[in-house]
């Protein structure tokens, strides 16, 4: 009996000793209460082409967008609310190619695409080619929550949105002078009547908005909204309404929103590819985002970028263009950037 007591005491001492050993202590990094990251499009965004006023207007808009999402997350609101409301604000701004600021199609119309995905259950909703929905991201959310489908397009999507109380506007609401002029320039250059500068040519492909949020319950949502590409034809759809290409979210890995030359993002399923590297390859978010955007996509010739975050609140804002309107916020930390040289 005495011997048994001695053995037990010895084992206990060894265990206490082990617990105290710094070698075995695991450092647990607390995840931030919430995190939110946004983009307002990637492209040929050069400081030399910006006025100080324009620069300030974009930074103010990015800050304001973050404030909206952050105020929801701070109070314990859901990531899906934060993403929708943040994108709604960006859709109301004519600075971005989404909602009010959407670019024109070849026929002089505005056709918008959006998608949203909830990382907890991987439910998703998307609309493509809609012309009269003030907030396409809200219509995408309605598809997610109020239908058995993931993706709706054109007139059907518009009817569904209207039936579900989503705000409908006259398509003329989306007409802005700036985007109209961009279309006229693109049409002239197509007819050979003028030549777009290299910057203008590259720029007609970019400008989408996106948001990814992690809420206090640990749920990730990703959303993307766009007018697509200037001078697009034949009801062309880009990556933004396609789950896995322009938007993806899974609590187990990450949430991603993309912007760039949609055809490439569709072919290489960019958003899902980043999550898949984490899921199957055990890579970190930073490694996965860098590889897909700055190695694979560059090799394939696809211009653009992403914003993403993981369960721990790590943020990635990778792009392979001259710039990307980008920003993130978490408790005690906020970053707002435009140009490449700010990294």
When binding is defined by CB under 6 A, the residue of 69, 77, 129, 228 that contacts ligand ASP is 228
Q: In the range 87-126, which residues lie near ligand ASP by CB under 6 A?
A: 97
User: Which residue in the list 44, 208, 226, 247 is annotated as catalytic?
Assistant: 208
Question: Are 197 and 32 a contacting pair, CB within 8 Å?
Answer: no
Question: Are 321 and 303 a contacting pair, CB within 8 Å?
Answer: yes
When binding is defined by CB under 6 A, the residue of 119, 128, 262, 302 that contacts ligand ASP is 262
User: Quick check: 226 binds ligand ASP (CB under 6 A)?
Assistant: yes
Q: Which residue's structure tokens are 């609101």?
A: 77
Question: Are 202 and 63 a contacting pair, CB within 8 Å?
Answer: no
When binding is defined by CB under 6 A, the residue of 128, 136, 260, 313 that contacts ligand ASP is 260
User: Quick check: 208 binds ligand ASP (CB under 6 A)?
Assistant: yes
Tokens of 308: 């993403």
Rounded to 5 degrees, what are φ and ψ at 336?
-130, 120
Rounded to whole angstroms, the Cα distance separating 141 from 152 reads 11
Beta strands 151-153 and 323-330 are unpaired
Our CB check for ligand ASP shows the closer of 41 and 223 to be: 41
> What's the min distance (Å) between Cβ of 228 and ligand ASP?
4
User: Quick check: 239 binds ligand ASP (CB under 6 A)?
Assistant: yes
When binding is defined by CB under 6 A, the residue of 32, 40, 41, 119 that contacts ligand ASP is 41
When binding is defined by CB under 6 A, the residue of 125, 207, 223, 244 that contacts ligand ASP is 207
User: Quick check: 240 binds ligand ASP (CB under 6 A)?
Assistant: yes
Question: Are 296 and 207 a contacting pair, CB within 8 Å?
Answer: no
> What's the min distance (Å) between Cβ of 305 and ligand ASP?
9
User: CA nearest 212: which of 311, 110, 319?
Assistant: 311
Q: Which residue's structure tokens are 């989306």?
A: 174
User: CA nearest 260: which of 303, 294, 224?
Assistant: 303
Beta strands 123-130 and 151-153 are parallel
User: Quick check: 269 binds ligand ASP (CB under 6 A)?
Assistant: no
Our answer to whether residue 221 is catalytic in this structure is no
When binding is defined by CB under 6 A, the residue of 229, 243, 271, 289 that contacts ligand ASP is 229
User: Quick check: 244 binds ligand ASP (CB under 6 A)?
Assistant: no
| Footprint of ligand ASP (CB under 6 A) | 41, 97, 205-208, 226, 228-229, 238-240, 259-260, 262
- Residues designated as active site: 208
């Amino acid at each position: 009996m005495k011997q048994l007591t001695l053995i037990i005491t010895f084992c206990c001492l060894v265990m206490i000793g082990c617990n105290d050993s710094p070698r075995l202590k695991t450092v647990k990094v607390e995840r931030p209460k919430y995190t939110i990251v946004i983009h307002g499009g990637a492209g040929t965004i050069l400081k030399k082409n910006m006025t100080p006023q324009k620069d300030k207007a974009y930074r103010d808009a990015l800050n304001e967008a973050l404030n909206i999402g952050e105020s929801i997350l701070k109070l314990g609101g859901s990531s899906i609310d934060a993403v929708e409301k943040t994108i709604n604000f960006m859709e109301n701004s004519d600075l971005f190619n989404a909602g009010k600021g959407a670019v024109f199609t070849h026929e002089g119309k505005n056709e918008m695409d959006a998608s949203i995905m909830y990382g907890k259950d991987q439910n998703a909703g998307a609309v493509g080619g809609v012309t009269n929905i003030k907030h396409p991201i809200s219509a995408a959310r309605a598809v997610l929550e109020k239908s058995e489908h993931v993706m709706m397009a054109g007139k059907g999507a518009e009817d569904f949105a209207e039936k579900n109380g989503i705000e409908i506007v006259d398509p003329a609401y989306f007409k802005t002078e700036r985007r109209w002029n961009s279309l006229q320039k693109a049409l002239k250059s197509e007819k050979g009547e003028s030549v777009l500068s290299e910057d203008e040519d590259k720029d007609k492909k970019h400008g989408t908005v996106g948001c990814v949020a992690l809420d206090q319950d640990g749920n990730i949502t990703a959303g993307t909204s766009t007018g697509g590409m200037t001078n697009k034809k034949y009801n062309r759809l880009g990556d933004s309404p396609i789950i896995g290409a322009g938007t993806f979210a899974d609590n187990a890995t990450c949430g991603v929103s993309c912007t760039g030359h949609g055809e490439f993002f569709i072919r290489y399923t960019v958003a899902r590819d980043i999550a898949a590297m984490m899921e199957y390859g055990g890579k970190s978010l930073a490694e996965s985002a860098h590889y897909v955007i700055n190695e694979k996509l560059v090799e394939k010739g696809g211009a653009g970028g992403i914003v993403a975050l993981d369960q721990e609140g790590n943020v990635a804002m990778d792009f392979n263009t001259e710039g990307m309107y980008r920003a993130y916020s978490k408790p005690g930390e906020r970053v707002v950037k435009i140009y490449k040289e700010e990294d």
